[in-house]
Amino acid sequence: MRERGGSDTNDGGHVRHLRGALAGLCLLAVTAGGAAAAAAGTPGPGRATQDTPGATAAGVRGLPAAARAARPNIVLVVVDDLSLDLVQTMRTPQVMRRTGASYSHAFVTDSLCCVSRASLFTGQYPHQTGVRTNTSNEGRSSLGGWPAFAAGGNLERSFNVRLQDAGYATGFVGKYLNEYEWVPGRALPPVPPGWSDFNVVFGSAYDGWGFASTELDDGRLTIRDHPAPPASASAAEKDAAYAGTVIEDLALDFIRDREAGGTPYLLQVAAYAPHNRTNPEGHYPGDPLFPPMFRDREGERSCGRVACGRLTAADLPGFGDDRRDNRPRRRDGTPARAWNTAGGLSAADAVRDLRDRARMAQSVDRLVSRVLRTVGDDTYVVLTSDNGFHLGQLGMGRGKGTPYDTDVRVPLLVVGPGVVPGTRREVTSNIDLAPTFEELAGLKPAAYRSGTSLVPTFGDRGLVRRRHAFFEHTQQTLTGNDPDAAFGGTEMERIPSYTAVRSRSGLLVRFDLDPRRRKESWGYEFYSYQRDRFEKRNAFAAPRHRAEVRGLLARLKGFDGCRQTGDQRVPQSCRDLAR
């Protein structure tokens, strides 16, 4: 099924437009070059065997013939907690929107960092990866964190393994997975397969300064220390040691080194901004909860494209909304237990945090612009986030984990060879990125991927194949000790487990309101976005939405039957649930 909208722009015009727009920001253009060609071959279980990439008669679907010649380079930038309200403050995403593909309905499988990143690496839902929470609570739980990712066989199923086997140089820089950590005096963590360069910046970087990172030396993991400058140091010295600066430097070094060679490369850059710090005291006097670089702390324009004074609670759709009419309903329409009962956030606190998060986002903005300036002609650059973030919307506090747009809807922008500028109406999920990168590399996506390649939409902005995305969430109390709960109070513990389905026009959530293991008590919420910008009122029992609710319930039932795990092949019927 295809939907059409808007006129196509020719490839040459796209390149000239991109060059002119980036020049306005002192950038160089990402010009048109080669793209991948599709190749056959389905991997078996475990580590995929090498496929031989090569051009076919058809090339990569959806791309012009001029963009089919060679395997491209790929740079994926994953931002931490970048909510859509911050994109307006960043300059480079506006350039990428004008000159590339912008996916206006892009979602993540779960709005928790580790769960979402596991899905991104594998192209699988949480029930397939086995990563359902951020942490293992120091080994007390098998539900989350790096231990669950490694134990579930996800290392071998990650897209970087297949690309490395296909001849790509693969690099990782920045935040990896929760609990992939090192403490002085303890053994180093293992080296995940599939990385040529592996520069993980450990979790103390949440605080901005004072952290360690990894390097590979002949395949062996080594540690590099990045101490925090003293409080007496200049702002420039502190900014040079900022986690965002270190991540940017490592990323650009990788790109420059690989551009000098002839091997195609994949680089994933994972920033820590604009995540809040986890150290209650901060590193320096006056550090805000969301600590930006010192160069971004002063002045009305420190919030980027939007003056700080113009960022208000009006930029947070749903702020101040009465949460009493969001209460879940039982299947028969009667009220169920209310779960959204935690304390809210004052307007003053929400606006202060919004502005500080905008200041933090400027370091990411500069990182992406410098990546675009450094990459070569045949490079795709993808910008997205692991999840969103709420600041007081729907009567909540600050945090994530909900199925609402504040938390699960993320930016997704792509520029590169053959990408026709324009907004896409395709409903996408972060599980779509793994098969996308495989197809760009000339590989047939692995049979155990639940996602679908976005490559056909690069050259056809009117193409719409999928209209639904699915979410899964496991209540944080089943694991405990989540670092994101440090400043969120009890809110993250109160968010129930749920399964949800989202279309462009509506959201249906099935909450399990009984937090006990192996106990269930269902409550439903339905929201229509046809008139409202946010989840204003639970309309699950409203007669006018009965047909839409019935259809979404049927999709949830179908999703319940798709319980493939690990390296099991995903039936096409399960992928078709997103149509």
Total residue length of the chain:
579
> CA–CA separation, 206 vs 215, rounded Å?
19
pLDDT score, position 518: 79
- 468-473 and 497-503 as β-strands: parallel, antiparallel, unpaired? antiparallel
Assigned token pair, 437 = 């990168």
Q: Residue 336 and residue 524: Cα distance in Å, rounded?
A: 8
- Give the pLDDT score at 305: 98
Specify whether the CB–CB gap between 426 and 355 falls below 8 A: no
Evaluate whether 512 touches 299 at the Cβ level (below 8 Å): no
Q: Mind giving me the DSSP string for 280-294? A: TT-SSTT--SS---G
The pLDDT value given to residue 293: 98
- Crossing angle of helices 91-99 and 11-23, rounded to 10°: 160
Residue with tokens 């690496």: 121
pLDDT at position 57: 28
Which residues, including other chains, have CB under 8 Å from residue 52's CB and lie 6 or more apart? 39, 166
d(CA 556, CA 235): 52
Give 290: exposed, middle or buried? Use CB within 10 Å, 0-12, 13-18, 19+: buried
pLDDT 10s per residue in the chain (579 long)?
334 333 333 333 333 334 344 444 433 333 333 333 333 333 333 333 333 333 332 345 556 544 544 799 999 999 999 999 999 999 999 999 999 999 999 999 999 999 999 999 999 999 999 999 998 977 778 899 999 999 999 999 999 999 999 999 999 999 999 999 998 989 999 999 999 999 999 999 999 999 999 999 999 999 999 999 999 999 999 999 999 999 999 999 999 999 999 899 999 999 999 999 999 999 999 999 999 999 999 999 999 999 999 999 999 999 999 999 999 999 999 999 999 988 889 999 999 999 999 999 999 999 999 999 999 989 999 999 999 999 999 999 999 999 999 999 999 999 999 999 999 999 999 999 999 999 999 999 999 999 999 999 999 999 999 999 999 999 976 566 666 655 555 688 889 999 999 999 999 999 999 987 778 899 999 999 999 999 999 999 999 999 999 999 999 999 999 999 999 999 999 999 999
Evaluate whether 51 touches 444 at the Cβ level (below 8 Å).
yes
∠ at Cα 578 (574, 579), nearest 5°? 110
Three-state DSSP class for 79?
Answer: strand
What is the rounded CA–CA span in Å between residue 11 and residue 27?
20
Kindly provide the b/e burial profile for residues 74-97, where b requires at least 16 CB atoms within 10 angstroms of the residue's own CB.
bbbbbbbbbbbbbbbbbbbbbbbb
- Which parts of 123-166 fold into alpha helices (H)? 126-129, 145-151, 154-157, 159-165
Counting Cα atoms < 13 Å in the Cβ hemisphere of 402 gives: 27
Give strand pairing partners of 472. 499
Query: For 152-201, what is each residue's pLDDT tens digit?
Result: 999 999 999 999 999 999 999 999 999 999 989 899 999 999 999 999 99
Topology (CATH) of 70-335+347-578: Alkaline Phosphatase, subunit A (3.40.720)
pTM over 0.75: yes
| Measured torsion, CA atoms of residues 442, 381, 570, 152, in degrees rounded to the nearest 10 | 110
- C-alpha–C-alpha distance, residues 480 and 512, integer Å: 18
pLDDT given at position 70? 79
Catalogue the E-assigned strands of 20-79: 73-79
What pairs with residue 423 in β-bridges?
102
Q: Residue 55 has what pLDDT? A: 32
Structural tokens at position 86: 């911050």
Q: Are 125 and 450 in contact (CB under 8 A)?
A: yes
* pLDDT for residue 493: 83
Residues 440-487: tens digit of each pLDDT: 999 999 999 999 999 999 999 999 999 999 999 999 765 666 666 555
What sign does the dihedral 17-410-290-199 (CA atoms) show?
Answer: negative
State the pLDDT at residue 1.
39
pLDDT single digits (tens) 64-105: 544 544 799 999 999 999 999 999 999 999 999 999 999 999
Q: pLDDT at position 483, please?
A: 61
Give me the pLDDT at residue 34, please.
32
- For residues 514 and 298, the answer to whether their CB atoms sit within 8 Å is no
**Side chain identity, residue 148:** A
CA 270 to chain centroid: 10
Structure tokens, 2: 């295809």
Q: Which residue do the tokens 């996308």 mark?
A: 436
In 3D space, the residue among 146, 229, 217, 143 whose CA is nearest the CA of residue 181 turns out to be 146
The phi-psi region of residue 472 (left if phi > 0; otherwise alpha if psi is between -120 and 50; otherwise beta) is beta
Residue 266: helix, strand or coil by DSSP?
strand
The pLDDT of residue 492: 83
Q: Which of 371, 351, 350, 346 is nearest to 271 (CA)?
A: 371
Task: Report the distance separating Cα 176 and Cα 180, nearest Å.
Answer: 7
Positive or negative, the CA dihedral 7, 445, 383, 496 is positive
Contact 476, 132 (CB under 8 A): no
Q: How many other β-carbons are positioned within 10 Å of the β-carbon of residue 489?
A: 14
Question: Can you tell me the distance from the alpha carbon of 314 to that of 443, in angstroms, rounded to the nearest whole number?
Answer: 45
CB 115 within 8 A of CB 102: no
Give φ, ψ of 107 to 5 degrees: -135, 170
Whole-angstrom distance, CA of residue 553 vs CA of residue 438:
32
Taking the alpha carbons at both ends of the chain, their separation in whole angstroms is 8
